[in-house]
Amino acid sequence: MTLPAWTREPIVHFLAAAAALFLYFAWVGEPADPASRTITVTREDRAAMALQWERTMQRPPTDAELDALVEIFLREEVLYREAIRLGLDRDDTVVRKRLANKMDYLAASMAETAVVSDDVLAEWLAQYPERFAPDVRYSFDQMYFAERAAAAAALTSAPTNGESISLPSAFENASRSEVEGRLGRAFTATLDTLEPGSKWAGPVASGFGWHVVRLRAREIGKAPTLAEIRGEVEADWRGSTEAQRKKDAYELLRGAYRVTVQK
């Protein structure tokens, strides 16, 4: 069966949707325009305040507490309205910045809530593999010496245990960040230049002094598949597209302005 040609026209789709919307909101109605110097705290308002209290404190407010909430609300509301009347919101840096930020937020919220397909993430992972590469892992033994000469001597002489310091003598499968945290940047950089094997090497400098090192293994982790790190890739994708979306949204708005900067 083929539908008549007019049913494929976008304009018809739009009109149908518009009619549905119109009927719905004609039925629900528009909100009342509140008089500007009338504040009515309805039963529903009070109920909502009580609800928020309960949400925070995990119990309903007492009558006195609810009255206090209403008083706080009224005070804020009155001052807020008077401030608006006096135009205190204009030329206020905080208000201005806040509104700008909210506009940014509007643009970014789509990226926050959109559900992303595996295809998009797979492409993202392929595009930025370095962001998801696992840490290099090291297994090694180390002995510590305060003086370089002592460390050098230990390489050639009979086995010793090195000098006493509160550092592990053996690291098993330790990540690069862990090694760097314990022994510092200089040591870790040198570790990358050593050949794994059963020989002692050094002296290797660290922030503490000197070390002789037996690097038993250095494993460069295998690139993870999307299935293993989907959450991580998704988080990264979200973060990056949010920035791009804010930028795009701004460019769109910016394009509509004629800007003259007088020098």
Partner 1 sequence: MALNGNTDIAVVYHTRAAPQARLVVTHPRRSVLTCNLFLPHAVPAYRKIGGAAVKGGENGMGKIKVIAAVGAVAVVLAAGGYWLSRPAVIDPAEVAEAEAAIALTEFPETVLWGDTHLHTDNSIDAFGFGVRLGPEDALKFARGDEVTSTTGIKAKLARPLDFLVIADHSDGLGVMRRIYDAPRIAIRDETLRRWYDMMHESPQQSARATAELISAAGAGTLPEAMMDPERREETATDIWNDQLRVLDRYYRPGKFTPLAGFEYTYQPDGNNLHRVVMFRDGIERTSKVLPYPGLTEEIGGLFDYMDAYEQATGGKVLAIPHNSNLSNGLMFELTDAGGGPMSAEYARRRASREPVVEATQIKGDSETHPFLSPNDEFADFGKKGWDIGNLTLSRAKADPMYAGEYLREALKRGLSIEQRTGVNPYKFGMIGSTDSHTSLATGDEDNFFGKHTGNEPSAARANAPQNLGTQVGRFGWNYLAGGYAAVWARANTRAEIFDAMMRREVYATTGPRMVVRFFGGFDFTDNAFEGNWVRAGYKNGVPMGGELVDGGKAPRFLVSALKDPDGAHLDRVQIIKGWTAADGTAREKVYDVVWSDNARRRPVNGKVPAVGDTVDRAKASYTNSIGAPELRAVWTDPDYRAGERAFYYVRVLEIPTPRWPLFDALRFDMTLSPEAVDDAVAQERAYSSPIWIGPPAR
Per-residue binding letters, 219-238, with partner 1 (x by CB under 8 A): ------------xx-xx--x
For the segment 15-54, give every residue that binds partner 1 (CB under 8 A): 15, 17-18, 21, 24-25, 28-34, 36, 39-41, 44-45, 48-49, 51-52
Q: CA 140, CA 178: separation in Å to the nearest integer?
A: 13
User: Could you tell me which of 115, 214, 98, 96 has the C-alpha nearest to residue 155?
Assistant: 214
Taking residue 193's Cβ as centre, other Cβ atoms within 10 Å add up to: 9
Q: Which two tokens stand for residue 163?
A: 């000098």
For the segment 128-167, give every residue that binds partner 1 (CB under 8 A): 146, 164-167
Number of residues that bind partner 1 (CB under 8 A): 101
The single residue among 62, 81, 155, 172 that binds partner 1, judged by CB under 8 A, is 81
> Which residue's CB is nearer to partner 1, number 223 or number 253?
253
Q: Is the peptide bond before 61 cis (omega within 30 degrees of 0)?
A: no
- The residue type at 227: A
User: Could you tell me which of 161, 173, 155 has the C-alpha nearest to residue 212?
Assistant: 155
Q: Which two tokens stand for residue 191?
A: 């570790």
From the list 83-91, 147-155, 191-199, 213-221, the region that binds partner 1 by CB under 8 A is 83-91
What distance separates the 2 farthest-apart alpha carbons in the chain?
A: 95
> Which residue's CB is nearer to partner 1, number 222 or number 258?
258
CB of 121 to partner 1, least distance (A): 13
> Which residue's CB is nearer to partner 1, number 40 or number 157?
40
For the segment 190-219, give every residue that binds partner 1 (CB under 8 A): 206-209
